[in-house]
Chains A and B, each alone.
Chain A
Amino acid sequence: MEDSFLFQAIIYLAAAIICVPIAKKLGMGSVLGYLLAGIIIGPYALEFIGEEGEDIMHFAEFGVVMMLFLIGLELEPAKLWQMRAMITRIGLSQVLLTTGAFFGIMVGFGFSWQVSLAVSMSLSLSSTAIVLQSLKEKNQLDSAAGKNSFAVLLMQDIAVIPMLAIIPLLVVAGESLSGEHHGSPIEQFAGWIQTLFVIGAVGLVVLLGRYAFVPLLRIIAKTRLRELFVACALLIVVGIAFLMELVGLSPALGTFLAGVVLANSEFKHELESDLDPFKGLLLGLFFIAVGASINFGLIGENAGRVISITLGILLLKTLILLGIGKYAKLSLDQNLIFSIGLSQVGEFSFVTYSFASQLQILDKPTTEMLMAITAISMTITPLLILLNEKLILPRVGTLEKTEKEADEVNEKNGVIIAGFSHFGSTIGRFLRANGIQATILDSDSDRVDLLRKMGFKVYYGDATRADLLESAGAHEAKILISAIDNPETNYLLVETVKKHFPNLELMVRAKNRGDAYELMEMEVPNIYREHLDSSVRLGKDVLVKLGFRAHTVHRLAQNFIKYDEAALKELVKVKHDQKEYISSVRRTIEMQEALLSSELNRQFTLNDQAWDSEVMKGK
């Protein structure tokens, strides 16, 4: 029973659901919550899961792959290019300095240089999953610390490639490569052919991203089956990950690249919101697995050693990062966020440990010890970040609020237009003519394609989904214009916005009078009946053609619209009483006719004696 899949799923999900909210409530962030959940259900506490934790971890590492795809989506190629100096300078110096420092220390302690190099390279890596998740949760990805952290993590992902290439070379001569290979089938080829494969694979990802994924997504979008779109998004990510593993590259790096290529496409927001839950769940699972795989037995036996080595590693990494941060001219508080955040050993180290241990560079106790240290360092990080935030940062300098706000304004528009058919596009054109660039959401992929060719910034997706609105910037925006054709969709959107984004001012298109009543009952303040203005305008022209004076007609039309809108507000009050409604409609029509005709007949004498007063003449 306990081995069944469903039972396992219940354990993991329940642990997450119990621990994560508690952790968040205590201000610790979700990562720590997941880790604690893992420890609690792991072999050393409740014993719900045993040794299979590590297998699950390998599976759940896919969450990291997805996360990098999503991060790539956020990062347009131009932005990445701007970061190139930061990635090479900051990132490379972190990897080299940290590896060098650990290498020196280990050799000093009498380890062989091969072991020292394999271990020190692994220790230089940090946890992309923990760092980025924490930064994102705290909205710090755009801060200086966030950008530098990202540069370091990206460089580490790249550095994994040469690391995996170097480790096999460390095998003591004469010892055969028994056991499993790391898994890259191209290893049998000569070095230069491998290089060609690698370059070819990267080029393929870029080409596919440019010329194949977007048309494919368009075709899928046309089917209007949402699950098919999700499946397609997953296929892209999994496919690239597979391709990367085939040529021995980091799958995370490959999907990151694909994300960057797709960052400029109209499907950006849709892909983001579709993959986000998968990423979240897999990452959560990954953290739980890390928590569960901590070997407390081993730690218990060597408590002093494990703890002092872990703290030593954390301290050394932090100090090196602090130095790099200082060189990069980070302010002290940003530098602390940067260096403490990246101080742990990362999830990819698990891979390099097991690789090195398969090659018999590391013996089993060392590997187990390293795994325990890594897991503990990952578990401690969220705590350290929390301590830094609560105890240290309040004492050093201020948080740069202004910089962050400016960034947000740059990235998000104040106006969102949902639905970009004739109605919405007219609004969009008018706003754009006056320098207001709205964020546009539309669910017709053909139209999105066309409009993008015309230079509009249009995103593809169903605007009634809160997550899509969120990624379109609904939290920061001021106004949401609903120009959707279908009234039912409109109501759904109004409900979603009222529930999730009460900050947004809603301006809604109504098909007709009845539609307007519905919207008024939903307490939408700004309702625009789509036919009203243009039909009155046509009526005006008719009157002019029949010989009325244009200005008189203009004023009559203005008043007609005014009375009509006033009558609408009156009528909605009695709408539910059907009988009264009918009589009330009649009454309003009569009132309108009376008002307008009397005004015309009396030549403005009653309300408007200004230009031509019969009374005055008769005096």
Chain B
Amino acid sequence: MKKVLILLAHPKYEHSAINQVLADSVKDLENVEIRDLYELYPDFNIDVQAEQEALVMADIIIWQHPVYWYSAPPLLKQWIDLVLEFGWAYGPGGIFLKGKYIFNAVSSGGAKDAYSKEGRHGHTLKEFFLPFYQTAKLCNMTYLPPFQVNGTHKINVEDLKSAAEAYRRLVTFLRDSEEISKELTSLDSLNQLSI
């Protein structure tokens, strides 16, 4: 059984409609750890060592956050800046993340169609997340396509419920897979995975 680490970044989690439900759907799973970054580091003073220790233990890492301006909330960027150190995560001697899997699990206000070549944002989320992809690659990790819950402004209770169930199935599936197929990387989003 693999170990899953969820790095949750939501600056106003108590008001979040989606991320709370997603996190709640997986928090009781065995071998799944959630680190609520805005609760741990309200002053952005990230404990680099503690974060690195958590990373070393994990096989699968999930950046869970809402999409803000085609990217993540600032604390997650701060986390990347501070935790993924030269000589630890990448560069000479930077071998501690090698072979791990990582992806973004996100909520977006805009509908799924808006995130397409023809839609009003002009690109898919996978395309927008290019910096995350390259960050993972530089650290010798496998970047999987994002898991996404779109159109959250108008989402109804049933859709949210099934999204949460899908998230739980995905996390359980990845945790229990002996081998994670490289073919997953070619998907547009992990939502397309039929499990």
Contacts and interface: CB of A to CB of B under 8 A. Distances in A.
Interface of A: 555, 558-559, 562, 607-611, 613, 615-616, 619
A559 B45 contact: yes
Given A616-B91, A619-B91, A555 B85 contact: no
B91 A610 contact: no
B45 A610 contact: no
Closest 4 CB pairs of A and B: A610-B81, A558-B45, A609-B86, A610-B82
Contacts of B84: 610
B184 interface: no
Contacts of B85: 608-610, 613
A82 to B, nearest CB: 36
B48 interface: yes
A562 B84 CA distance: 22
A609 B87 CA distance: 9
A555 B91 CA distance: 26
Nearest to A611: B81
Contacts of B81: 610-611
Contacts of B43: 558
Assign chain B's interface to a size class: 10 to 19
A327 B43 CA distance: 61
Nearest to B87: A615
26 contacts: A555-B45, A558-B43, A558-B45, A559-B45, A562-B45, A607-B48, A608-B48, A608-B82, A608-B85, A609-B85, A609-B86, A609-B87, A610-B81, A610-B82, A610-B84, A610-B85, A611-B81, A613-B85, A613-B86, A615-B86, A615-B87, A615-B91, A616-B86, A616-B91, A619-B91, A619-B92
Interface string B70-95: 00000000000110111100011000
Interface of B: 43, 45, 48, 81-82, 84-87, 91-92
Contacts of A610: 81-82, 84-85
Interface centre among A555, A558, A610 (most CB of B within 10 A): A610
Contacts of A559: 45
A607 B87 CA distance: 11
A558 B92 CA distance: 30
Contacts of A616: 86, 91
Contacts of B48: 607-608
Contacts of B86: 609, 613, 615-616
A559 B87 CA distance: 23
Contacts of A608: 48, 82, 85
A540 to B, nearest CB: 13
Contacts of B92: 619
A243 to B, nearest CB: 57
A177 B43 CA distance: 86
A610 to B, nearest CB: 4
Contacts of A558: 43, 45
Contacts of A555: 45
Nearest to A562: B45
Contacts of B82: 608, 610
Nearest to B78: A610
B52 to A, nearest CB: 11
Given A613-B86, A616-B86, 12 more contacts: A555-B45, A558-B43, A558-B45, A559-B45, A607-B48, A609-B85, A610-B82, A610-B84, A611-B81, A613-B85, A615-B86, A615-B91
B57 to A, nearest CB: 21
A609 B48 CA distance: 11
A608 B82 CA distance: 6
Nearest to B90: A616
Nearest to B84: A610
A611 B45 CA distance: 14
A25 B91 CA distance: 74
Contacts of A619: 91-92
Contacts of A615: 86-87, 91
A547 to B, nearest CB: 23
A559 B84 CA distance: 20
B195 to A, nearest CB: 36
A559 B49 CA distance: 14
A161 B34 CA distance: 71
Contacts of B87: 609, 615
Interface centre among A562, A609, A615 (most CB of B within 10 A): A609
A619 B94 CA distance: 14
B183 to A, nearest CB: 34
B39 to A, nearest CB: 17
A376 B170 CA distance: 75
Nearest to B49: A607
A613 B91 CA distance: 12
B165 to A, nearest CB: 33
A562 B85 CA distance: 21
Contacts of A562: 45
A616 B92 CA distance: 10
A194 to B, nearest CB: 65
Nearest to B79: A610
A237 B91 CA distance: 83
A616 B81 CA distance: 14
A176 to B, nearest CB: 82
A611 B80 CA distance: 11
B78 to A, nearest CB: 8
Contacts of B91: 615-616, 619
Contacts of A613: 85-86
Nearest to B82: A610
B53 to A, nearest CB: 14
A340 B92 CA distance: 85
Interface centre among B43, B48, B85, B92 (most CB of A within 10 A): B85
Contacts of A609: 85-87
Contacts of A611: 81
